[in-house]
């Protein structure tokens, strides 16, 4: 299905409207909202996780508990090609200076953990409900829990996603001469990839790390969590976190090799 832009463009970018449109992909926009009560099985940022009786709580290599960063119940999410239609996906991170990220080995799940339950129960009697064993974290990117709502959207490739060059070639903006920076800024503003989302193109405050990691370009965006004052979320200095997965692993529901990165200004 071909998608058309309804965005007004400068004369310089208007010449490339059709090329921009060829890059359009669907994604799911995530809308967090703080609420008083959260069910154990619902989609959320932060809070207490869905944990069936008999399942071990995730710990790091030192035996310290990780903390729930995000939980996605796919029955609440609009259908997105390649993504599960059911089940619960969870991402936990360590309470460390880098929020559990290992920039030397971004798929090593020690400081973070990705867990997927293909089926779930909405009966509290089937679940762990007492999490009094957890210490109160002080150094996490989010301080409060939020419920999540979802909207399916479409958007062209973002400026600092490595795929931009696949569509437009290297040094695309140089052809605009003295307007190079102006046109690049226009593109970045009109086709931003900022915000919380699943799928589609990613946003970075620095650069796309997939370009510089062996095999990194095979990873697509699984989940993005952005700095958000309204729900008290801050990644370093107004940064953003990205979780990537290969098409093959996503198809197999194998979340053991998720690529985790975050950066900030």
86 vs 246: CA distance, rounded Å: 19
pLDDT digit string, tens, across residues 95-128:
999 999 999 999 999 999 999 999 999 999 999 9
Q: What's residue 3's pLDDT?
A: 81
Q: What's residue 171's pLDDT?
A: 94
Q: What's residue 214's pLDDT?
A: 83
Dig out the tokens for 40 from the structure: 């154990």
CB-based contact 247:218 (threshold 8 Å): yes
Q: What's residue 97's pLDDT?
A: 92
| CA-based nearest residue to 199, from 28, 84, 31, 43 | 28
User: Longest C-alpha distance within the chain, in Å?
Assistant: 66
CATH of 11-263, one of 3.20.20.410, 3.40.1260.10, 2.30.320.10, 3.40.50.2000: 2.30.320.10
| CA-based nearest residue to 111, from 219, 263, 258 | 258
Question: CA torsion, points 235, 256, 245, 28, in degrees to nearest 10?
Answer: -70
149 vs 261: CA distance, rounded Å: 24
235 vs 240: CA distance, rounded Å: 6
pTM: 0.96
251 vs 149: CA distance, rounded Å: 24
HEC states along the chain? Answer: CCCCCCCCCCHHHHCCHHHHHHCCEEEEEEEEECCCCCCCCCCEECCCCCCECCCCCCECCCCCECEEEEEEEHHHCCCCCCCCCCCEEEEEECCCCCCCCCCCCCCCCCCEEEEEECCCCCCHHHECCCCCCCCCCCCCCECCCEEEEEEEEEECCCCCCCCHHHHHCCCHHHHHHHHHHHHHHHHHHHCCCCCCEECCCCCCCCCCHHHHCCCHHHEEEEEEEECEHHHCECCCCCCEEEEEEEHHHHHCCCCCCCEEEEECC
Cβ-based neighbour number of residue 133 at 10 Å = 8
Q: What's residue 2's pLDDT?
A: 67
Regions of the chain short of the pLDDT cut 70: 1-2
Domain residue ranges in the chain: 11-263
């Amino acid at each position: 299905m071909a998608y058309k832009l309804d965005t007004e463009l400068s004369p310089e970018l208007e010449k490339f409207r059709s090329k921009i449109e060829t890059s359009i992909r669907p994604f799911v926009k995530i809308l967090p909202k703080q609420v008083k009560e959260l069910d154990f099985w619902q989609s959320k940022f932060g809070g207490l996780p869905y944990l069936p009786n008999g399942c071990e709580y995730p710990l790091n290599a030192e035996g310290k508990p990780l903390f729930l960063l995000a939980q996605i119940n796919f029955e609440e999410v609009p259908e997105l090609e390649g993504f599960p239609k059911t089940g619960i996906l969870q991402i936990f991170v360590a309470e460390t200076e880098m929020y559990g990220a290992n920039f030397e080995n971004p798929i090593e799940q020690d400081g973070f953990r990705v867990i997927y339950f293909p089926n779930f129960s909405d009966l509290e009697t089937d679940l762990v409900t007492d999490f009094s064993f957890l210490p109160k974290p002080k150094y996490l990117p989010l301080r409060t829990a939020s419920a999540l709502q979802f909207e399916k959207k479409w958007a062209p490739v973002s400026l600092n996603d490595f795929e931009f060059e696949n569509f437009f070639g290297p040094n695309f903006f140089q052809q605009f001469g003295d307007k190079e920076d102006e046109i690049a800024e226009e593109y970045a503003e009109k086709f931003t990839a900022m915000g919380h989302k699943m799928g589609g193109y990613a946003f970075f405050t620095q650069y796309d790390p997939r370009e510089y990691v062996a095999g990194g370009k095979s990873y697509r965006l699984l989940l993005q969590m952005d700095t958000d004052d309204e729900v008290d979320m801050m990644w370093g200095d107004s940064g953003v976190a990205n979780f990537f997965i290969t098409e093959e692993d996503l198809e197999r529901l194998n979340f053991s090799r998720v690529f985790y990165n975050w950066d900030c200004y």
